[in-house]
Structure 1
Amino acid sequence: MNVLDGPTPVNLVATVRAVLPSLTPAAQSIARLILDDPGVVARSTITEFSAASGTSEATIVRTARALGFAGYSQLRFALAAAVARDEPERLVPGDLGPDDPLTDVIAKVARAESEALADTAAQLNPDRLGMVVEAVAGARKVDVYGVGASGLVAADMAQKLMRIGLPGHAYTDAHLALTSAALVRDDDVAVAVSCTGETPDVLAPVRVARRAGATTVAITNNPRSSLAGLADHVLVSAGRETAFRPGALASRISQLLIVDCIFVGIAQRTFETSDAALRATRDAIDGFRTDYRRRSRSSS
């Protein structure tokens, strides 16, 4: 199976960013030229691109195939379609500079995040998402592993599952994650969140959970990472790294989009129980707020 699910003009640039860390050094130099100016690459013959990149034509063809294309011609056509569809700055978003006024900061951050969401949506395979929804909805329990910024996403997923009555638990500590992973069964699901897909604190519990028989799910930017190789289902997020927004932070918004899609899919599948659970939890929180305001007024 092609982990890229067939690049299209819609997700081509996001796909190149996603697989960049897993490419050879020569292929990385080619991929960076594609990211820097896809329009120039689209207009270049393979001989011209070979001279510009300082790599052989054979390396360019191998890189095109690594990106999911039959050859360089097909890659050029896809890049040309992407350039024709999008504004140049859409393909090469302006980076944040240390002297940017806050008006530019707002615009650039908003654009980067909206593009991350659009790229993630374009890459998100509905069939694979459906399999994840089915597995999580029917699980005895759901472990969610993540550290750092991905730990925040793991906590968000666990909280959402709890709101609809599903036993989800987030683990941001490797020892606790390993403890829980050692006790999973074949009717459990282990979800791992990692931008790079190479985070040791996430890989270790996933390996244990996989050996124990749990269904494993990866949410990662890199579909060719170690984490992706351990997962039964891989959902690919997108996020453009900048000087002020390292990869993990840039990807958080797109990881949250995937979590929201999983949550909504489960809520649809289990509508009666999910709707009742959402109403019960909402009433409990609203009641707590009402009581707190009442007590506050009385004490004053």
Structure 2
Amino acid sequence: MAKTAISSIKMNYQQLNNTEQRIADTILANPNAAHDFTIQQLAVVSGVSSASVSRFVKHIGWESYREFSLALAANDNDENFFGEIEDNDSTDDIIKKVFSGADNALNTTLEMLDPSDFDVAIDLICNAKLVGLFGIGGSSLVAFNGYHKFLRTPINVIQHPDYDIQLMQAVHMGQTDCAIVISHSGRNHDTLAIAEKLKANGVPIIVITSFASSPLAKLADVCFVSLAEEVNFRSESMSSLIAQITIIDSLFTLVGFHLGQDSQDVLDNVRTAIETTRVPNK
């Protein structure tokens, strides 16, 4: 699975201790300068020990500081970082930065995805008697998008934006079903309550989140991580939403492909039904 130095920091940031977060903040503040630091220099600038830096890089998934430093240097050639929106930016500048942010979220997320995780998820979805999609707030938009897509397949699928109803749906699900649970932070109290009920019932859980070490991710049978940078006018969760929807779209497409003609028959029937609601072309 491909990864970048910056994405590995962001993905694990919430699980770092205070010392490790100081190192992470130093790097994220100026990654182009940080890649030239020796381990001793990074320790001095961050106000920590060299041993702390060594533990930090291993905590975020790298074998050694040298391996991490080389990966950080590779970011120097990337144009993926969000531009900060400034007071003197033109309309064109702002639009380009917003689109660049969406592009960054998709590319960074793609680097971290493992195709084998999709194989496992598709097997769970296609063999489930019922697939439930769960998400609160902004994540409910991703869940609804998934519901809207999977209605075009033979999959029996449920989704509802209300938390209480989601919790009741979770109570009715069991081992022969499958749940897709979405949360940017992976720490939303209501989402965790739903996931814990699903887990208690033995329901296989597919999680989509931005933090691989979050409490929600730890409940997952399969976890997909969406990544994005944060800028001054929007949170990373807004761009991460685009990546999460694309993960859902990938699952839908793979399910449709896996189920073959059965999916095509349902899709054709749905298209025919929808077409009757439209005004004919003149």
Aligned residue for 2:69?
Answer: 76
The amino acid that maps onto 1:96 is: I
The amino acid that maps onto 1:70 is: E
Aligned residue for 1:62?
Answer: 55
1:40-189 equivalent positions in 2, closer than 5 A: 40-83=33-76, 85-87=77-79, 90=80, 92-189=81-178
CA contact (8 A) 1:135 1:189 kept: yes
Aligned residue for 2:183?
Answer: 194
Aligned to 1:140, the other structure's residue is in SS state coil
Separation in 2 of the partners of 1:70 and 1:30? 17
Q: TM-score, normalised by structure 1?
A: 0.89
**How far apart are 1:190 and its partner, in Å?**
1.1
Consecutive unaligned residues of structure 2, counting only runs of 5 or more, are none
Aligned to 1:55, the other structure's residue is in SS state coil
Asked whether 1:225 is paired with 2:214, we answer yes
CA contact (8 A) 2:5 2:68 kept: no
Per-residue CA deviations over 1:90-144 (Å, capped at 9, x if unaligned) read 3x42112355321111010010100100111111110011111111111111111
| Cα distance change on mapping 1:249 and 1:81 into 2, 3 Å | closer
Consecutive unaligned residues of structure 1, counting only runs of 5 or more, are none
Aligned residue for 1:16?
Answer: 9
Asked whether 1:39 is paired with 2:32, we answer yes
**How far apart are 1:177 and its partner, in Å?**
1.2
Percent of counterpart pairs with the same letter?
28
The amino acid that maps onto 2:111 is: A
Per-residue CA deviations over 1:17-50 (Å, capped at 9, x if unaligned) read 1211221121112112222222322211111111
Separation in 2 of the partners of 1:249 and 1:169? 25
**How far apart are 1:172 and its partner, in Å?**
2.6
The count of aligned residue pairs is: 282
Separation in 1 of the partners of 2:58 and 2:210? 19
Per-residue CA deviations over 1:69-109 (Å, capped at 9, x if unaligned) read 122122112212332x424xx3x421123553211110100
CA contact (8 A) 1:196 1:222 kept: yes
1:239-250 equivalent positions in 2, closer than 5 A: 239-250=228-239
| Cα distance change on mapping 1:99 and 1:146 into 2, 3 Å | farther
The amino acid that maps onto 1:75 is: F
Separation in 2 of the partners of 1:170 and 1:36? 40
Separation in 1 of the partners of 2:62 and 2:107? 22
Aligned residue for 1:272?
Answer: 261
Aligned to 2:34, the other structure's residue is in SS state helix
The amino acid that maps onto 1:125 is: D
CA contact (8 A) 2:175 2:203 kept: yes
**How far apart are 1:223 and its partner, in Å?**
0.1
The amino acid that maps onto 2:171 is: A
The amino acid that maps onto 1:86 is: D
CA contact (8 A) 2:57 2:64 kept: yes
Separation in 2 of the partners of 1:202 and 1:98? 37
**How far apart are 1:168 and its partner, in Å?**
1.6
Aligned to 2:148, the other structure's residue is in SS state helix
**How far apart are 1:220 and its partner, in Å?**
0.3
CA contact (8 A) 1:96 1:243 kept: yes
Which of the two has greater helix per residue?
1
CA contact (8 A) 2:153 2:266 kept: yes
Aligned to 1:278, the other structure's residue is in SS state helix
Aligned to 1:267, the other structure's residue is in SS state helix
Separation in 1 of the partners of 2:153 and 2:40? 57
